[in-house]
């Protein structure tokens, strides 16, 4: 039985511009802008062609299909992430900055959350982040497979905290809920669970974004503490 060949836009040389003034970079920038405005469902070769005043057919000179276009756009997300040099700031600070930056960038481009794990992150910007992340954990003292395991743990945490936040923002974030009414609803649902009721009247719950930021910070510090503990003799 033959296996399906692996393909990626990054494993072949990009074609040169098919029209004066038209570049792949221009097409990718327009695709990112369209994705930010309308999400994955709003991106099509036809819409992108119209945005660029070009026919959809002409775009296939640069990409074989829509997934290749998404690969190119996805890599632009990684380009926006801040990745400090661990030799200059230390591995913990470098890792923290990357984690916060990764969360902010994914929230800024919520469509990218749907591509994590679905498309390969093989572009030059994603490779730069992955390479620098390996340097961070090597600087910490991890060796062998543990370097990659530590990196996977960090990204799994960031993705796991951020993707549900994107889903909430997409379905609930634009609705103007009354905070008191929401607390009353939660209080009723949690009536049989007194431990949960303790936190319902906290003033900070008036600002869900603040709670999510505090929760992310708590989890990240705990994760880094745990990784550091593994390095202890």
Q: What is this structure's pTM?
A: 0.86
71-74's contacts with Cβ under 8 Å and 24+ in sequence apart are 71/8, 71/9, 71/10, 71/119, 71/120, 71/122, 71/123, 72/9, 72/24, 72/27, 72/28, 72/31, 72/123, 73/28, 73/31, 73/32, 73/35, 74/112, 74/115, 74/119, 74/121, 74/123, 74/126
Which residue is it, tokens 């990745």? 83
* CATH superfamily of this structure's domain 9-74: Homeodomain-like (1.10.10.60)
Q: Which of 168, 87, 73, 174 is nearest to 118 (CA)?
A: 73
State the Cα–Cα distance between residues 202 and 181, nearest whole angstrom. 14
Q: Which two tokens stand for residue 191?
A: 């009536």
State the Cα–Cα distance between residues 45 and 196, nearest whole angstrom. 49
Domain boundaries of the chain, sorted by first residue = 9-74, 80-231
Q: What is the pLDDT of residue 196?
A: 75
Into which CATH architecture does domain 80-231 fall?
Orthogonal Bundle (1.10)
Per-position pLDDT tens, the chain of length 233: 556 667 788 887 776 665 555 788 888 999 999 999 999 999 988 899 888 887 767 787 778 888 889 999 999 999 999 999 999 999 999 999 999 999 999 999 999 999 998 888 999 999 999 999 999 999 999 999 999 999 999 999 999 999 999 998 887 766 667 777 877 887 888 888 878 777 666 555 567 788 889 999 999 999 999 999 999 87
Which residue is it, tokens 């062609």? 49
């Amino acid at each position: 039985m033959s296996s399906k060949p692996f393909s990626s836009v990054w494993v072949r040389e990009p074609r040169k511009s098919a029209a004066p003034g038209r570049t792949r970079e221009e097409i990718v920038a327009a695709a990112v802008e369209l994705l930010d405005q309308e999400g994955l469902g709003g991106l099509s070769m036809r819409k992108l062609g119209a945005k660029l005043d070009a026919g959809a057919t002409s775009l296939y000179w640069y990409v074989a299909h829509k997934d290749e276009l998404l690969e190119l756009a996805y890599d632009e997300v990684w380009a926006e992430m801040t990745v400090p040099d661990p030799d200059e700031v230390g591995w913990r600070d470098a890792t923290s900055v990357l984690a916060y930056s990764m969360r902010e960038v994914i929230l800024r481009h919520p469509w990218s959350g749907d591509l994590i794990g679905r498309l390969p992150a093989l572009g030059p910007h994603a490779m730069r982040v992955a390479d620098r992340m390996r340097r961070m954990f090597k600087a910490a003292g991890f060796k062998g497979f543990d370097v990659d395991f530590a990196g996977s743990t960090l990204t799994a945490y960031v993705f796991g905290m951020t993707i549900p936040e994107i889903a909430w923002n997409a379905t609930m974030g634009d609705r103007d809920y009354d905070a008191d009414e929401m607390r009353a609803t939660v209080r009723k649902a949690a009536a049989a669970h007194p431990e949960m009721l303790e936190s319902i009247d906290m003033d900070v719950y008036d600002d869900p974004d603040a709670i999510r930021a505090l929760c992310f910070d708590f989890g990240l510090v705990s994760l880094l503490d745990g990784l550091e503990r593994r390095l202890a003799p």
